[in-house]
Amino acid sequence: MQKVNVREARRDISRLLDAVAGGEEIVIVRRGKPVARLLQVEQPGGGLARFPEHTELRAQLPPQRQSSAAMLREMRDERG
């Protein structure tokens, strides 16, 4: 565990974040007292968030007879 003061943290944030990404824990102190702790964020699944595949759902939808622009125009005209 590495302890750094606020001034150091501001100056060397990039270096500190690299250390945290490497698994190190950083404690930021103000006037000798701990005020914050930098820890590595745990990613569920170990990577980027993946969105579900919707190709099967889209295949089940009926084809549209008019474009979305035409549909919006029609809806606006109905409102007056």
Q: Which domains does the chain have, with CATH numbers?
A: 1-41 (3.40.1620.10)
The pLDDT of residue 48: 63
Q: How many CA atoms lie within 13 A of 63 on its CB side?
A: 1
Backbone angles phi, psi at 33, to 5 degrees: -110, 135
> With bands split at pLDDT 50, 70 and 90, how would you rate the model's confidence at 41?
confident
Burial profile 33-47: b = 16 or more Cβ within 10 angstroms, e = fewer? eeeeebeeeeeeeee
pTM of the prediction?
0.52
* pLDDT of 46 above 70: no
Mean pLDDT, residues 9-17 = 95
Distance CA 9, CA 16 (A): 7
Average pLDDT score over the chain: 89
The pLDDT of residue 58: 86
